[in-house]
Amino acid sequence: MDGIVDNMIICWCACATWLDIAMIFTLCALLLAGYPAAFSLAGTALIYALVGLSMGAFDVTFFSEPYPIRIFGIINNQVLIAVPLFVLMGVILEKSKIAEELLDNMAKLFGSMNGGLGISVTIVGALLAASTGIVGATVVTMGLLSLPTMLRRGYEPGFAAGSIAAAGTLGQIIPPSIVLILLGDQISNAWQKAQLQQGVYAPETVSVGDLFAGALMPGLMLVGLYLTYQIGVSIVSPKSAPAIPAADRGNYNEALVSALKTLPAPLLLIIAVLGSILGGIATPTEAAAVGAAGAMLIAGFRLCPVKGLLGRPLLISGTLATGLLVVLTSTIDLRMGKEITSGLETAAIFAAITCCVFIALSLLTSLHHLLKEKMLAPVVEKTASVTTMVFTILIGAALFSLVFRGLGGDETVAHALSNTPGGVVGAVIAVMLVMFILGFFLDFIEITLVVVPLVAPALLLMGVDPIWLGVMMAVNLQTSFLTPPFGFALFYLRGVAPDSVRTLQIYRGAIPFVLIQILALALLAQFPEIATWLPDRLYGN
């Protein structure tokens, strides 16, 4: 009898040691079954916390004490405030029809060469990535506007669909993007944790700005690889990507003039947002606010009448006031609490206040025109839905990671990676392979908020550079949008593609671009300087 009891106790303890692994498999099963990510994360955590408590393998203090602090930290996180602001910027630019004009003008400019439409799609995708960062909106917009034109001009359906889907996913890697903000927050937490475990009690930080700088060169490299592939296809197989007949292209000079009218606004917005972050002038959150305000001014300028009290003159004055305010804040001390203030500083303070008044009036004017055109409600609804989804998943992921660590998951992951054949290289390859496979089935937000907190601290403890690791993960996550059968970019494109384009053709067209992304990962692995050079030059990391 005693032997039976002893065997039951041994089995019970053995089961308890596998709870953390069972927790991962349960979560994957729930997500694949189609349950919402946030509730799957929180529900799995609660179930396994109760099971762990009943088996004596889980300490309730992991759940009761840190979790409220974590929720407060998520809501109060200044970096994460950039998420709704960047989403707002992207949605406003989407609704203002900038993509339509850019695609039309670029198609006319590059239409004289084989593959010109595919090249124009990639260039516009890169511009939209740097100004909106919303993959779904970009893919749907270009799918509606470009795919019918490309098919009508004789493009091979798979090549056309793959070009559009791949160009739309550039918003994942070219900053500013939501995935880089979330990855930056997770990598920063993991880096500080890894340093504390090494006995460094004044840990260095990795900011979202570092990750933006690290991702810029790989993003441009990926654009170059896409263009190289498209040009190669147009040379090897001209029938797959024919040129537009001269009679249908229209006047080149008129297209060039039109493009020069459309391009400055989004380009200036990109320079203002990215330049302020990379130059250290503003934090990502502050830059996101500038981007959202700039997007409102662009939309208002396109919607408002040329003349009148609420016309373009007021919006132009608001734009000029923004530029003047930047000059004043960067050259003169505008603090109002000083004991001694010179006459120049006093005049500059009043000028800055006046600029703020003009900016506020111009933004209110833009909002008025958005409301008048019935665009404000859809913009607010889309921004609120995306933001709610992200923060709900964040809260669920925080509970999941706490319970996972309480069940000994950290030690399990660290032990598995440290014993992977090939040392650090083998561990990184294993993590990248797992993330790549998960990308077939899971959304990038789920992978970022579940997988990264589990594996990043162990990899960083092994000496991996945090910026390089973050960029590698970002490029890897980008493939999740293109990998059949559940790539979200493929779903978005299938929803707007003509019935003549078969789903299999879309999948087949995406595969070369997935291989290109794998090549980009290999180049980053072989030459880490592609990701680390710019942050080193800018910040001396």
Is 313's pLDDT higher than 80? Answer: no
Can you tell me the mean pLDDT for 317-345? Answer: 78
Question: Which residue, among 161, 118, 215, has the nearest Cα to 478 in the 3D structure?
Answer: 215
Is 84's pLDDT higher than 80? Answer: yes
Please state which of the ranges 21-30, 152-161, 520-529 shows the lowest mean pLDDT: 21-30
**What average pLDDT does the structure give for the chain?**
79
Can you tell me the mean pLDDT for 52-78? Answer: 72
**The pair of three-digit structure tokens given for residue 51, joined into one six-digit string:** 């099971």
pLDDT at 17: 63
Residue 485 pLDDT grade (very low, low, confident, very high; cuts 50, 70, 90): low
**Alpha-carbon span 173 to 133, nearest angstrom:** 9
**The pair of three-digit structure tokens given for residue 330, joined into one six-digit string:** 């960067």
Max avg pLDDT among 108-112, 124-128, 229-233, 461-465:
229-233
Is 306's pLDDT higher than 50? Answer: yes
Is 324's pLDDT higher than 80? Answer: yes
10: exposed, middle or buried (Cβ count in 10 Å: 0-12, 13-18, 19+): exposed
pLDDT at 390: 76
pLDDT at 251: 67
Domain that holds residue 529: 82-273+478-541
Is 8's pLDDT higher than 70? Answer: no
**Alpha-carbon span 92 to 2, nearest angstrom:** 71
Is 297's pLDDT higher than 60? Answer: yes
Q: b/e for 68-97, b at 16 or more Cβ within 10 A?
A: eebeeeeeeeebbbbbbbbbbbbbbbbbbe
Is 45 a domain residue? no
Can you tell me the mean pLDDT for 319-328? Answer: 81
Is 87 a domain residue? yes
Question: Which residue, among 375, 179, 207, 389, has the nearest Cα to 295 in the 3D structure?
Answer: 375
Prior bond of 266 cis (ω within 30°): no
Is 534 a domain residue? yes
Region of residue 115 (left: phi > 0; alpha: psi -120 to 50; beta: else): left
Is 245 a domain residue? yes
| Count of structural domains within the chain | 1
Is 340 a domain residue? no
pLDDT in tens, 235-288: 888 888 887 776 666 666 776 777 777 777 777 887 878 777 777 777 778 888
Q: Which residues does 77 contact at the CB level (< 8 Å), separation at least 6?
A: 185
Is 13's pLDDT higher than 50? Answer: no
pLDDT at 171: 78
Question: Which residue, among 66, 58, 62, has the nearest Cα to 20 in the 3D structure?
Answer: 58
Is 39 a domain residue? no
**The pair of three-digit structure tokens given for residue 83, joined into one six-digit string:** 């998420």
Is 532 a domain residue? yes
Is 221's pLDDT higher than 90? Answer: yes
pLDDT at 523: 93
CA angle, 412 then 414 then 416, to 5°: 65
pLDDT at 522: 92
Residue 519 pLDDT grade (very low, low, confident, very high; cuts 50, 70, 90): very high
pLDDT in tens, 394-433: 788 778 877 877 777 767 766 776 777 777 888 888 888 8
Is 120 a domain residue? yes
pLDDT in tens, 20-47: 788 878 887 887 676 777 788 888 888 8
